[in-house]
Each structure stands twice: as structure tokens, then as C-alpha cells.
Amino acid sequence: MSTISSQLIKEHFNRYAEMQIYDLFKLIFHTVFGCEHLIADPSAAEQYIMREATLNNSPALTEKLGEYSRIYLGWLGKGLSAATLAKCFALSARHTEDGNERLESGIALALRLAENGEIPLDSDTLKGEIGRWRSQGFPAIHHSDKYRDLYRPAYRVTDSKYAEILPLLCEIDRRLEKGRTVIAIDGKSASGKTTLSQTLGEIYDCTVFRMDDFFLRPEQRTRERFAEPGGNVDRERFEQEVLKPLSEGKSIEYRPFDCSTLMLCKTQTVEPKRLVIVEGSYSMHPDLAGYYDFSVYLDISDEIQQQRIIERNGSEDAEVFFSRWIPFENRYRERLEPDKRCNLIFNLDETGD
């Protein structure tokens, strides 16, 4: 959970030299609590964002506060829709169990910085205003008039996981204005592909297909097949059952592969929605890449990857993963270079799946 740091406080005073005491309080409050209230009506929040954006010449700025981030309305000029920002805002509202304790900790830190002359606030005045705010029960507060006049703050506070993928959200919103959009999410194991597809599923009404459902059946697992870069998924079946009918605007019928039984499951029928996400390693194989409107590659350091796979699979299963599946993945990346062919590259070492 987020706790404000002295570095963050000093950075904001450097950026906004005329910050007042209540602007400091608002920074601490946002770092701890994020959204100030639950959003009962996201559509009303969308309309308010649109009205506010017309009144402010806001930059496309993101200020990370830890668990939460301030997303400035200038991102709407980059393609982000007000509806998407309102949805991220609404999804970020949650109850914070130890919030007051962390708020008090942040206030104490700010007071020490003022007493040491590290921020330009009078410590006695700050102490008095802290007592006043505390006596009121630490309500959400507004920026000072001076701050609003000088800096024109126009932002929404969201979970940082949404702020980290803003370029992708902008691209999706721009493309959805024109019609159905099909996106591939490729990347190294444990880089966050599943997490990213789940995050997009929270924001958008979308259809998700997973490359894990198209592993090779036992009879397909030949030495020749495994020698192919990216050969350890049934890309031919994925193309015929999913991508080809999708490109023709048809319903999709496919049979997911069950890794526990090594057999195909019952046929699933899917009516694709306006946003379709294909998630998984090998999704950007050259035989499949032409079906996508946009593609994302998730990178990760080898050290973080190893750590996550051990945590996710356990030490014994992880060893099989490292000795067998990771070499296949590395060969695919080195020979077919999906990272160089994707439209966006993210390194989500801090999140992951």
C-alpha cells in the first residue's frame, strides 16, 4: 500500500514552487487514498471530465504517486476517451483499511521536512493547519486558489496500473472509433500478458483469446515441429478456427486445449465484441501477425522472469519451465523478432502476471 516519501514531496515542491499547505495535504491524501469517493455513475463522471477538459489547457502528464497516479486531462488530446478515463477512475475507488495511519505518517514526514527547511513551509503554521485538518476528520480537500490559478490542475487519480498503459489505451480508443479492433499481446513468460489482458477486460467490454488454449496436441509434438521457431503452438488451428472467421465477421467456434488431460475440450462458440484481444507468447508469429490491427510486446528482465516463474509454478515445475519452454520462447524471439515487429513495447517489471 502507498506511503508518501520525502522524495515525492520534494519533487512536487520543485515542480510547483508555489504549493501551499493544502496542496501538500492533497498530495498526501491522494497518495494514501487515491480516489476521494466512490463513483456511483461513471457516465456522469465521463460528462464531467468532458466539460472540465474544455475549460483547461492541460498537458498529457502523468504523476505517479506510488499505488495511485494523477492522469491529467491532456491525455484526451492524445486519443484517450473521457469514457475510458472515467472507467479507470471508477475502478480505482476502494476502501483503505489503514489509511488514517498512513496519512498520519505522511503528515509527520512533511512536518519534519518543514522543520528541517527541506520544503518552503513554515513549520509552526503547518503544525496548526495539521491540527485543524485532523480535528475535521481528514476530509478530502481542494487545491489552493493560488495553485489552481498558476498550474490549472485538471486530472483524475487512478490506480497506477492504468497510468502505466496510457499509450495503449489511447490507441485502443482511437481505433474503436473506426470499428472493431483486434490486438495481439505477445511477450516473454511472466511479463504480464495475462495481467494486461485482464486489466483491459476491466476497462472495455472485450473478447479475449489465449494462445495457451492452442498448445500442440500429443500427436503434433514431433522433433521437426519443435525445431521450428514458435512451433510449439498450433498456430494453424488458431488461424483457421479464430483469426480467419474473425477477419470475415463470422461467429467463432473453437476447442480449447486442456493441458491437464492433453485433449481438446468441448467446442466453444463466441460472438466477437468490438475489441478482441489475442494474448500469449507466439501470437505475433509471422503467419498470424497480418490479422491484427495493433500489437503489444511485454518485455521483462531475466532475473524478474525467473523469480516470478518460481513464485507462480513452484521450484520443481519452474525447473522444467526453464529447461524446456523458455528455450523455445527464446528461439522464437531471437529468430522471428516479435518485439521489433510490435507497435508498442512495455516493460512491466513492477506488475506482471
For the stretch 195-217, pLDDT in tens is 999 999 999 999 999 999 999 99
Grid cell listed for 53: 477538459
pLDDT tens readout for residues 150-174: 999 999 999 999 999 999 999 999 9
In the chain, DSSP assigns E strands to 62-64, 68-72, 155-159, 181-187, 206-210, 252-254, 257-258, 263-264, 268-270, 275-279, 294-299, 344-347
Q: What was the pLDDT predicted at 94?
A: 76
Report yes or no: 145 and 21 within 8 Å, Cβ to Cβ: no
β-partners of residue 253 are 269
Q: What was the pLDDT predicted at 43?
A: 78
Grid cell 463522471 in the structure block, residue: 45
Q: What was the pLDDT predicted at 349?
A: 67
| Residue 335 Cα distances to 283, 298, 332, 338, angstroms | 15, 17, 5, 9
| Residue 187 Cα distances to 160, 230, 297, 314, 330, angstroms | 21, 12, 5, 21, 10
Grid cell 476491466 in the structure block, residue: 202
- Assigned CATH topology for domain 166-347: Rossmann fold (3.40.50)
Q: What was the pLDDT predicted at 98?
A: 85
Q: What was the pLDDT predicted at 37?
A: 59
pLDDT tens readout for residues 105-128: 999 999 999 999 999 999 999 999
Q: What was the pLDDT predicted at 316?
A: 85
User: Can you say how many angstroms the Cα of residue 79 is from the centroid of all Cα atoms in its chain?
Assistant: 17
Residue 159 CB contacts under 8 Å (≥ 6 apart), including other chains: 34, 67, 68, 69, 88, 91, 92
Q: What was the pLDDT predicted at 181?
A: 98
User: What angle do the packed helices 99-115 and 6-15 form, to 10 degrees?
Assistant: 60
Burial class (CB in 10 A: 0-12, 13-18, 19+), 3: middle
Q: What was the pLDDT predicted at 351?
A: 46
The dihedral through the CA atoms of 171, 176, 179, 183 has a sign that is positive
SS3 160: helix
Cβ neighbours, 10 Å, residue 61: 15
Per-residue pLDDT of the chain (353 residues; tens, 9 = 90+): 567 999 999 999 999 999 999 999 999 999 999 976 556 567 788 998 999 988 888 899 999 999 999 999 999 999 999 999 999 999 998 767 788 999 999 999 999 999 999 999 999 999 999 999 999 999 989 999 999 999 999 999 999 999 999 999 999 999 999 999 999 999 999 999 999 999 999 999 999 999 999 999 999 999 999 999 999 999 999 999 999 999 999 999 999 999 999 999 999 999 999 999 999 999 999 999 999 999 999 999 999 999 999 999 898 889 988 998 999 999 999 999 999 999 999 986 654 44
Of 291, 298, 292, nearest to 333 by C-alpha is 298
Domain ranges of the chain: 6-163, 166-347
SS3 68: strand
Q: How high does pLDDT run on average in the chain? A: 93
Q: CA-CA distance, 89 to 39, in Å (whole number)?
A: 8
The DSSP string of 212-252 is GGGBPPGGG--HHHHHSTTTTB-HHHHIIIIIHHHHTT--E
